[in-house]
């Protein structure tokens, strides 16, 4: 009868004595290549039994290495976050508690796994839910968020209704992909004018981004009737030196940072019953400030969004900036980018019926169409290589 220990010894015999290939060994034993590589690496000829023994998984520290005081401290922190109003928008999991202890310079900082075990044993949380598989996606040419305000994401959430009212409200959400710093505001409608007012105010606080990533909603992009004449939001962004980037249509997960944040807002903020819009606006401000001040994130080495942003040099709009001035500005400077999926026909569509031929060989791949408004050209790239250039005015091939 085959067993795990016997298979390990048999694999070493086949490889070191019989000199079979790794592929043939894996086939004969019905084992994976990583399995074989792992035991070949552990194998010590002079210590066969010990080197081929299984190694116990789990934390190296034994259960009694942490004091009862730190265990009670952890459980107390969890209880406080569950009940106290000031922690309404805080992260509550084991990782958040671990990062908070670390930031406070606590003398004992148990690992996340240990903290989670204590919380489960205390009945504070359930066992970790089974993680769903991540959506597999092809490479997509979106801006890389490698610094504060390198790439910001914009989205609207709503409509939202207040208690006993049929009036529609929306939440404007702007979030930096690197620092996770956010701006949230209650909007009375989703007109472009209203969204632009929110953005300009948000940029005065967060700073201007190099790229503004968003979906293809008409209030963001402009009119379908005139797809090459961009709307006010794009004009304001261009006027402030920001490059708008439109995600592939019908793929909201491309705005992953802000989409996740929208789910967080729905779970924490929008479950509160507000009697009037003033209370809604006031609590939204509390939510925004809390997320920026108290969210300690592993991606930021345990720092908060505000702590990361304070170290950066922010580019701000002029103090007296008036976005109305863009109405009469000609579209003659800056870039607007579209990330698009190439159809089976080899074409892409930027907006409405604004189509460009790319290459049927690239069907089902993503390309970047970058419009140069100064030169009136649209350059289409795949894998950072320019494959086609069009006259944006006449839709004729240039190169």
Which residue reads 């009697």 in tokens?
275
Instruction: Give the angle subtended at the CA of 289 by the CAs of 285 and 294, to the nearest 5°.
Output: 150
CB hemisphere CA count around 395 (13 angstroms)? 12
State whether 79 and 220 are in the same domain. Answer: no
Percent of the chain with pLDDT over 90: 57
Instruction: Please choose, from the candidates 331, 142, 145, 157, the residue with its C-alpha nearest in 3D space to the C-alpha of residue 234.
Output: 331
User: pTM value?
Assistant: 0.78
State whether 165 and 244 are in the same domain. Answer: yes
Give, rounded to a whole angstrom, the gap between the first and last alpha carbons of the chain.
68
Instruction: Provide the pLDDT for residue 3.
Output: 83
> Residue 390 is part of which domain span?
332-397
Instruction: Provide the pLDDT for residue 132.
Output: 44
Would you tell me how many other CB atoms lie within 10 Å of the CB of residue 104? 9
Percent of the chain with pLDDT over 70: 90
Long-range contacts of 383-392 (CB under 8 A, 24+ apart): 383/139, 384/141, 387/358, 387/359, 387/362, 388/356, 388/357, 388/358, 388/359, 390/356, 392/228
Mean pLDDT over each residue of the chain, to the nearest integer: 88
pLDDT in tens, 138-174: 678 989 999 999 999 999 999 999 988 899 999 999 9
Grade residue 133 by pLDDT with cuts at 50, 70 and 90: very low
State whether 261 and 374 are in the same domain. Answer: no
State whether 274 and 157 are in the same domain. Answer: yes
pLDDT over threshold 70, residue 290: yes
186, 157 contact by CB (below 8 A) = no
Phi/psi for 280 (5° steps) reads -65, -45
pLDDT over threshold 70, residue 136: no
State whether 266 and 392 are in the same domain. Answer: no
pLDDT in tens, 105-119: 888 899 999 999 999
Q: Is residue 207 assigned to a domain? A: yes
State whether 170 and 73 are in the same domain. Answer: no
Instruction: Choose between 279 and 223: higher pLDDT.
Output: 279
CA–CA distance, 81 with 92 (Å, rounded to integer): 6
pLDDT in tens, 37-64: 988 988 887 667 778 887 655 555 555 5
State whether 370 and 286 are in the same domain. Answer: no
State whether 232 and 365 are in the same domain. Answer: no
Phi/psi for 5 (5° steps) reads -60, -40
SS3 375: coil
Grade residue 352 by pLDDT with cuts at 50, 70 and 90: confident
Say which residues have a Cβ less than 8 Å from residue 177's Cβ, sequence separation at least 6.
145, 150, 151, 152, 153, 213, 257
Q: What is the DSSP letter of 311?
A: T
What's the number of domains the chain is made of?
4
Instruction: Provide the pLDDT for residue 116.
Output: 92
């Amino acid at each position: 009868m085959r067993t795990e220990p016997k298979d390990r010894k048999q694999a070493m015999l086949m490889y070191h004595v019989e000199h079979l290939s790794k592929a043939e060994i894996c086939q004969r034993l019905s084992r994976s290549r990583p399995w074989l590589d792992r035991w070949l690496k552990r194998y010590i000829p002079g210590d066969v039994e010990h080197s081929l023994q299984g190694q116990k998984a789990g934390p190296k520290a034994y259960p009694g290495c942490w004091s009862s005081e730190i265990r009670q401290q952890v459980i107390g922190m969890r209880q406080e976050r569950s009940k106290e109003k000031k922690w309404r928008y805080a992260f509550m999991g084991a990782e958040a508690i671990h990062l908070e202890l670390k930031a406070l310079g606590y003398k004992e900082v148990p690992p996340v796994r240990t903290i989670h075990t204590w919380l489960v044993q205390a009945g504070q949380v359930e066992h970790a839910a089974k993680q769903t598989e991540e959506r597999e996606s092809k490479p997509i040419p979106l801006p890389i968020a490698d610094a504060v305000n390198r790439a910001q994401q914009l989205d609207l959430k709503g409509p939202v209704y207040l208690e006993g009212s049929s009036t529609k409200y929306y939440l404007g959400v702007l979030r930096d992909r690197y620092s996770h710093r956010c701006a949230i505001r209650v909007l009375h409608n989703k007109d472009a004018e209203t969204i632009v007012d929110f953005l300009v105010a948000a940029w005065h606080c967060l700073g201007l981004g190099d790229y503004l990533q968003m979906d293809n909603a008409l209030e963001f992009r402009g009119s379908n009737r005139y797809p090459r004449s961009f709307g006010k939001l794009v004009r304001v962004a261009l006027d402030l030196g920001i490059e708008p980037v439109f995600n592939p249509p019908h793929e909201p997960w491309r705005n992953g940072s802000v989409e996740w944040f929208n789910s967080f807002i729905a779970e924490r903020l929008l479950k509160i019953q507000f009697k009037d819009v003033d209370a809604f606006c006031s609590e939204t401000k509390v939510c925004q400030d809390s997320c920026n001040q108290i969210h300690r994130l592993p991606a930021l080495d345990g720092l908060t969004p505000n702590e990361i942003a304070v170290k950066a040099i922010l580019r701000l709009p002029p103090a007296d900036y008036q976005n109305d001035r863009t109405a009469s500005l000609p579209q003659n400077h800056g870039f607007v980018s579209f990330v698009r999926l190439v159809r089976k026909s080899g074409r892409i569509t930027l907006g409405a019926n604004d189509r460009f031929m790319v290459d049927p060989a690239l069907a089902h791949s993503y390309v970047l169409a970058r419009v140069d408004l100064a030169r009136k050209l649209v350059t289409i790239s795949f894998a950072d290589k320019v494959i086609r250039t069009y006259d944006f005015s006449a839709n004729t091939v240039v190169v």
